[in-house]
Amino acid sequence: MFTRENLVKVLVVVAFLAFILKYRGNEEVRTLLIFIFYFFASIIYKIDSRYPILAAIGSLILAAILLAQNKENLANKVAIYAYYFLVVGVLLNLVEYIRESRKKEEFKPTKKIKRVLAIVSGKGGVGKTTLATNLAVAFSKLGKRTLIIDLDLSMPNVDIAMGVDSRGLNEVINGRDLKDAIKRKHKCDILPTLPIKDAYKRIEIREKIKEIVEKAREDYEITVLDFPPGVEGLDIIDDNVDVIIVANPEKMSLVDAYNVKKFLENKANVLGLVINRANGVDIDSIEEKLEIPVLAVLPEERKVAECLEEEVPIAVKYQDIEFSKEIADLAEFLIKYWEDKS
């Protein structure tokens, strides 16, 4: 989907290209203008600062090859491009450093909170567990004592996503003390589980899970619940639980998300929607159709699968990529929201 913001950006690029094509001034000034525009475009589009540095290295290698072929004039031009690419890369690194420094200085959690956050979805495979585990890690990094509980009792995956043993919740249900069943990794407490057949059809298990969640609320600042897809298990949610719905940008996924939202109306506090595996979506249109705010848009990221294979959250291994930064921004937003309400 093409947003108004992207349209404005495209028009600016087209206008600049038209200007450059009609420009009849000094060639060196033309080159300088192009790289100045490239620098500002990189800031706006958040282009990775490593790209211009790699381009600088590639240009220097090409210049050396041309020089060896006695093409001195062309080699000099390519070397100038390498210099400009290098300057852009260094400046972008500086901008990223300043941004991160400001974020660290600006955001410091100040209040103790007691919140339970349910991560739900209309269908499976949309990235619900990925969001839940990485959000839990992000909360912990921000100094919040956090527990994540795997409540997908049919197909649990939190143990794999976090790289811990699968036993935990099922043992507590059978009588083990909660604190003895907790696993700890990535500065975060984890309560994984083995599959429990027909768990949500059994009243005694549903009541036990409610008790475990309330115990966690007492002991932790933030408790993240990773639910199964669909509406299974959502009856244990009450109006003391905040909810985030996860969906992909495809129509069927968004329809399923809307159905889950309708199911939870008047039962829980639905904070909003996180759209995963999205590259350019019309947020305004989605918010209007689903009648729910979009809290974050996570880009398609091949490193997610890599990290799941290695059993480590992507926010731990790749902290500087856009996906992880979006997760961190969402965690900060939620903490600020909860602190303001407390």
The answer to whether the predicted template modeling score (pTM) of the entire model surpasses 0.95 is no
Please name which of 327, 271, 328, 335 lies closest in space to residue 112, comparing C-alpha atoms. Answer: 335
What domains sit in the chain, N to C, each tagged with a CATH number? 4-106 (no CATH), 115-341 (3.40.50.300)
Strand 183-185 relative to strand 188-191: parallel, antiparallel, unpaired? antiparallel
Q: Is the pLDDT of residue 15 over 80?
A: no
Task: Compute the distance between CA of residue 254 and CA of residue 21 in angstroms, rounded to an integer.
Answer: 43
- Cβ-contact 112, 339 below 8 angstroms: no
Confidence (pLDDT) at 8 = 66
**pLDDT digits over 172-220, tens only?**
999 999 999 999 999 999 999 999 999 999 999 999 999 999 999 999 9
Q: Residue 283 — pLDDT band, cuts 50, 70, 90?
A: very high
| The two three-digit tokens of residue 132, written as one number | 């839940």
pLDDT of residue 108: 63
